[in-house]
Structure 1
Amino acid sequence: MQDSSSVYFGSCGGCREAVHSSDGACRAMGQVFHSKCFTCSSCRKTLTGETFYTISGKIYCEDDFLYSGVHPKLEKCWSCGLFISDEVLQACGATFHLSCFRCVMCGQSLEDQPFSVDAQNKKVYCVSDYHRIKAPRCASCKMPILPTEGSTDCIRVVSLNTSFHVECFGSEVDLI
């Protein structure tokens, strides 16, 4: 028999019996549960106050959801190696957490940003770092040969496997 000062919350989403304030209760997924009834469908761990996931109406603790095969195959982040349980960013044939998709040089987030990759498709760079590190260097002035501002194309002169800025090529010839 319930204490007369106990408040009725509704029927338990687990056992369907009445839930009163004196029972120890929790709310989740728009329902009320006895604390003892709000458990993982796999391991029966009590989930009141814990992170939980639902699939097809069943409730799972984080460990069972992520590691026991309950959840459809989760992707692993190529950068950090951890499972991705929220939004997945796919680039260069790999998957990333949004927060892990960063330039390997400066650490800038590359989400929704243009980026470049190295020849092995393993390292991701912001465009400015990629140009700074990977751009061919002019044999005359030793500066990188980069696209002009606002452009994605650059012009270089290659002579005898040596690269030059267009404007530096003539001066190099004059030095010979």
Structure 2
Amino acid sequence: PSHLSFALMYNLHFISMKVDASTKHLPEKQDPKTSLDSMLGGLEQELQDLGIATVPKGHCASCQKPIAGKMIHALGQAWHPEHFVCAHCKEEIGSSPFFERTGLAYCSKDYHHLFSPRCAYCAAPILDKVLTAMDQTWHPEHFFCAHCGEVFGAEGFHEKDKKPYCRKDFLAMFSPKCGGCNRPVLENYLSAMDTVWHPECFVCGDCFSSFSTGSFFELDGRPFCELHYHQRRGTLCHGCGQPITGRCISAMGYKFHPEHFVCDFCLMQLSKGIFREQNDKTYCQPCFNKLFTQ
């Protein structure tokens, strides 16, 4: 055994000298790595000639040569450590984490740069949690209201012109406004006079009563009941106080239903609108003569 050990050491020393000498006299264009591989192959053969087994651990998936030293198992294959590299940057991966795609290995940086989804707000790769909304991907902390900047809670978001908004800002900015109170109309509403109204806001502009019959009168962009509409227009009968919708008589700065334009004393209808006035009252000619000319 000591003789074999001396012979092995001698041969290794001799081969090392051969490698050094060969390396020194390599032609200028010869690849030193190729020459070294050749020398290592010769070393393997000489070790076998000495009776020392040199069983390879496998063949490298990259260079297809036997692996006699350190090796890496990855992607279901064996590799020389220096040959297990990123498919994009070609840097040695070694024992660092890597990602597989279509049978190729990528370092973390290149994998995320090439294949990870991008945030619609910052355009950076999304490395951890991803939020999908509006047909795009986002970092969760970058999906927020386009107006106030607050991240959305459980109530979700509303979309307008391809931008997300919280409920409060969406309603304040884009919901139709009530014609009565000018606040956003969210649910039940009435449509009248080319705008929308909260049902409780669509009332007479003077008495604030709702329109139970469904009919109303418009004046200066506001709704009114029949009584207050005619009152504002000056078309209430001075005799009965009710609206005049047909023929009317104008007298003493007032309007009357024809049948209500009567003598204040005998209550007879003043025919053909002929009357006499005294103390803001109307009289027929006979009553006027009887009361004021005797």
Amino acid at match of 1:102: F
Give the Å deviation of 1:142. 2.2
CA separation in 1, counterparts of 2:73 and 2:204?
77
Q: Are 1:164 and 2:205 an aligned pair?
A: no
Amino acid at match of 1:107: E
Give the Å deviation of 1:38. 4.6
CA separation in 1, counterparts of 2:195 and 2:145?
29
Q: Are 1:97 and 2:138 an aligned pair?
A: yes
1:143 aligned residue? 183
1:106 aligned residue? 149
Q: Which moved more, 1:159-168 or 1:45-54?
A: 45-54
CA separation in 1, counterparts of 2:97 and 2:152?
27
CA separation in 2, counterparts of 1:101 and 1:83?
15
Amino acid at match of 1:139: G
Which structure 1 residue ranges, 5 or more long, are not aligned?
A: 1-9, 20-24, 147-153
Q: Are 1:41 and 2:69 an aligned pair?
A: no
**Structure with more strand by fraction:** 1
Matches within 5 A, 1:114-125: 114-118=156-160, 120=161, 122-125=162-165
Secondary structure of 1:124's aligned partner: strand
Secondary structure of 1:170's aligned partner: coil
When normalised by structure 2's length, the TM-score is 0.38
Q: Percent of aligned positions with the same letter in both sequences?
A: 25
Secondary structure of 2:190's aligned partner: strand
Larger-gyration structure (1/2): 2
The change in CA–CA distance for 1:50 and 1:18 in structure 2 (over 3 A counts) is closer
CA separation in 1, counterparts of 2:188 and 2:122?
38
The change in CA–CA distance for 1:32 and 1:128 in structure 2 (over 3 A counts) is farther
Which structure 2 residue ranges, 5 or more long, are not aligned?
A: 1-56, 209-221, 223-294
Contact 1:145 1:156 in 2 (8 A): yes
Contact 2:113 2:125 in 1 (8 A): no
When normalised by structure 1's length, the TM-score is 0.57
